[in-house]
């Protein structure tokens, strides 16, 4: 699967080298918006008096884009994005006086491929929709301690081999000949399966929880972004 996406990326780059007048290069920045409807707002679980809540924090993605125009309506787009997803895991047990949280981040690299369709709305404004898929590589597993003390800690294990995700996008593009193209819109990134597992643990030498790692929380990995893009003038 990785080789297929690499081939697609090389294919788009080769097209750009052969027909520069139909290819544009750009940069993008995408703040990540948690959305409960797409299973990206977090998760809560309780067992044996212990309660844990996973909540997404402010996150973002940025990268570069190569867009090749097929005809007046359709274009194909690829690139390379860096994604930083930040989380807060809260733990609570009233009986033993446990109330703490730990913050951690999950880094990944995304290679997308999308088919775009444009409709001209006015002289310089274009509406677009896009659909595609992406191959994503998670950088590493994650370990972090609680904010208050080290009795509370967590291990996050990434999905081995990375994961694939569905992409969908809608937005508007403002085109100028000398200053380039300016784009804003919104996108959906939705993996087909969970992308990781979180194993929270607590150990104060008297109260021990989950040392056998039977309890876990899923990381679903779906998110919605606000998209800001700039394409350089040809």
Query: Which residues are CB-neighbours of 199 under 8 A, at least 6 positions away?
Result: 154, 155, 156, 157, 210, 213, 215, 216
Range name among 17-31, 144-158, 185-199, 204-218 with the lowest pLDDT average: 17-31
pLDDT band at 13 (very low <50, low <70, confident <90, very high): low
Q: Is the pLDDT of residue 3 over 60?
A: no
- The pLDDT score that the predictor gives to residue 159 is 87
- The pLDDT score that the predictor gives to residue 221 is 87
pLDDT band at 14 (very low <50, low <70, confident <90, very high): low
Q: Which two tokens stand for residue 127?
A: 């509406």
Query: Which run of H or of E encompasses 13?
Result: helix 2-18
Quickly count: other Cβ atoms within 10 Å of residue 149's Cβ.
11
Q: Dihedral angle at the C-alpha atoms of 202, 203, 204, 206, nearest 10 degrees?
A: 110
191-228: buried (b, 16+ CB within 10 Å) or exposed (e) per residue? beeebbbbbbbbeeeeeebbeeeebbbebbbbbbbebb
Output the furthest CA–CA distance in the chain (Å, rounded): 71
Rounded to a whole number of angstroms, the distance between the first and last alpha carbons of the chain is 33
- The pLDDT score that the predictor gives to residue 47 is 94
pLDDT band at 196 (very low <50, low <70, confident <90, very high): very high
- The pLDDT score that the predictor gives to residue 161 is 84
Contact 50, 91 (CB under 8 A): yes
What number does CATH give the domain 2-231? 2.40.160.20
- The pLDDT score that the predictor gives to residue 39 is 56
If you average pLDDT over every residue of the chain, what do you get? 89
Range name among 7-21, 93-107, 150-164 with the lowest pLDDT average: 7-21
Query: Which run of H or of E encompasses 15?
Result: helix 2-18
Separation CA 34–CA 223 (nearest Å): 6
List, for residues 168-193, the tens digit of each pLDDT value.
999 999 999 899 999 999 999 999 99
Q: Is the pLDDT of residue 12 over 70?
A: no
The model's pTM = 0.85
Q: Which two tokens stand for residue 220?
A: 């679903």
Separation CA 186–CA 181 (nearest Å): 17
- The pLDDT score that the predictor gives to residue 22 is 79
């Amino acid at each position: 699967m990785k080789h297929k996406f690499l081939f697609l990326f090389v294919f788009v780059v080769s097209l750009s080298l052969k027909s520069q007048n139909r290819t544009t290069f750009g940069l993008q920045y995408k703040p990540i918006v948690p959305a409960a409807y797409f299973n990206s707002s977090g998760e809560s679980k309780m067992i044996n008096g212990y309660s844990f809540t996973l909540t997404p924090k402010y996150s973002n993605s940025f990268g570069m884009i190569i867009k090749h125009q097929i005809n007046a309506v359709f274009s194909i787009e690829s690139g390379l994005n860096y994604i930083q997803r930040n989380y807060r895991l809260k733990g609570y047990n009233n009986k033993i006086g446990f109330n703490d949280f730990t913050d951690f981040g999950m880094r990944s690299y995304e290679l997308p491929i999308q088919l775009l369709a444009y409709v001209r709305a006015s002289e310089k404004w274009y509406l677009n929709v896009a659909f595609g898929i992406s191959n994503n590589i998670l950088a590493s597993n994650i370990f972090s301690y609680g904010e208050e003390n080290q009795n509370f800690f967590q291990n996050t294990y990434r999905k081995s081999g990375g994961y694939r995700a569905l992409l969908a996008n809608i937005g508007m593009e403002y085109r100028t000949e000398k200053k380039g193209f300016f784009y804003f819109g919104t996108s959906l990134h939705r993996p087909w399966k969970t992308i990781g597992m979180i194993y929270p643990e607590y150990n104060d030498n008297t109260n021990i929880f989950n040392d056998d790692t039977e309890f876990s929380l899923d990381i679903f990995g779906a998110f919605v972004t606000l998209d800001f893009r700039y394409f350089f003038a040809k």
